[in-house]
Amino acid sequence: MAEQELMKIKVEPTKELFVYILTRDISHQAAIIELLDNSVDGAKRVAADATDLSEFWVEIEFDSEKFAIRDNCGGIPLQVARDYAFRFGRAEGMERIPGSIGQFGVGMKRALFSFGRKYVVESATVKDWFRLAVDLGKWMEDKDSWDFELAEYGENDGTLEIGTRIEVTDLIDDAASQFSLEHFRTRVENEIRQKHGYFIAHGLSVRVCGSAIPSHQWQLIADDQFAPEYRERTYNGSDAPVSTRIYAGVGRSNPSDAGWYVICNGRLVLGADKTEKTGWGWESAEMDAASGTPRYHNQFARFRGYVLFDCDDAGRLPWNTTKTDIDPDDTIWLDARETMAGIMRPVIDFLNLVDSESDLPEAERRLTAALAAAQTTAIADVKNQQKFRYPTSPRPPRPRTVNIQYRKEKERVETLQEAMGTTSARDTGDAAFEEAYRRHVEDE
């Protein structure tokens, strides 16, 4: 039998498949946040102190005709642009930015492809600069090459402003429609305030369509009477350990803000989560009421929990690739969630005590009054590991009460009132109950 010629079967992906996969599961709002992630990483890369970003800014503009983002966050080095930044995924050999949140994985390409059909990227560092212009339609038609061509590039002689500018035009229909809506702009502003509040609080200036985004600090009630629970732990196992900080306590009563917040390298991944995912509703046959956790109810509207994961290698953090959720199977996350469920319990018990005060006269609601007068503090100011603490009551707990209401003829009530020596219909009803209780319960 003659030896057969080796036959290869084509398995390389198509451009259409890549564009479809990259863009199908991410919203335009989330894609904008990913572009901002890249700007934050650029600022952290060149900043003298990564906790002081006050010299950096990002401006985002969009309408029905175009999308644009520009920053002064260090720029993309020419060599990085040529070899790494526009690759589909994080290429081997690319320098890792310690504590990164974006690092040119798929975020930039995903955003550009989902917004429109033409885009321009211009960037300058202290050393060099480049300009890239891409017509997505023409690139898709070229079946033989996946490369982009730089339109211009060179050395920076000091005359070019350092930073990056990206502009997308020829928008796809749904992007053009959303970018023109006031409601969409408001959602983007709120999302940036929450997702990047940590970096804004550390000085980064972000503007959306001309509006400055205010800082948003994570806070808990803490003063001489109240103390939040605070735990630390470090997970080793590689050259880039993961440090974990977990806080649980109470804040101002607001159902929309209550729940757990999960933050990876300063970037919010989950906000105000009230689901089993973060330990709510962990009750089973093996758990007693004191060790389980209830499902969320608005009586827990003061609960706040914060979990911060930090690692120089972003790949070790327990988030998904779009940074919109946690990885539920990540071993570090699973261990941290056990801790979260455990330290929820004393806070929940305290909030149950506060709820029980609703049956008391206002003057006797001591815990409620203490909460109203308490001060809040940023979680960053909680330095030492500690247990949850709240003021204990010197007054023995009063039994829960219920109202008893009934209507009787006025003349008969007045006759009974005179016979019992009471001065009002309410006092007469109380006295009648006590007399009936003695006769039917205590005298038996």
Instruction: Note the pLDDT of residue 43.
Output: 92
Contact 149, 161 (CB under 8 A): no
Instruction: Note the pLDDT of residue 388.
Output: 94
Looking at residue 203, what DSSP letter applies? T
- What is the CATH number assigned to the segment(s) 15-212? 3.30.565.10
- Angle ∠(175,178,181) on CA atoms, nearest 5: 150
The pTM of the full predicted model, rounded to 2 decimals, is 0.78
> Which residues face 122 on adjacent strands?
131, 165
Label residue 173 exposed, middle or buried (CB < 10 Å: 0-12, 13-18, 19+). Answer: exposed
- 10-residue mean pLDDT profile of the chain (444 residues): values are 72 69 76 91 88 94 95 92 72 66 66 88 94 88 82 90 94 92 94 92 94 88 92 88 95 92 93 92 55 86 95 88 86 93 92 90 88 90 92 59 83 84 84 84 72
Please provide the size of the chain in residues: 444
* Distant-in-sequence, close-in-space partners of 14: CB < 8 Å, separation ≥ 6: none
Instruction: Note the pLDDT of residue 49.
Output: 85
Contact 382, 247 (CB under 8 A): yes
User: What architecture is the 219-381 domain classified under in CATH?
Assistant: 2-Layer Sandwich (3.30)
Amino acid at 156: N
* Distant-in-sequence, close-in-space partners of 242: CB < 8 Å, separation ≥ 6: 234, 235, 309, 310, 311, 316, 317, 332
3-state class (DSSP) for residue 434: helix
The C-alpha atoms of residue 31 and residue 83 are separated, in whole angstroms, by 23
Question: Tens digits of per-residue pLDDT, 355-369?
Answer: 998 888 888 889 999
Q: Which of 102, 105, 159, 100 has the alpha carbon at shortest distance from 129?
A: 159
Instruction: Note the pLDDT of residue 311.
Output: 92
Instruction: Note the pLDDT of residue 400.
Output: 66
Hey, where are the domains in the chain?
Answer: 15-212, 219-381, 410-442
Contact 227, 389 (CB under 8 A): yes
Instruction: Note the pLDDT of residue 171.
Output: 93
Contact 102, 40 (CB under 8 A): yes
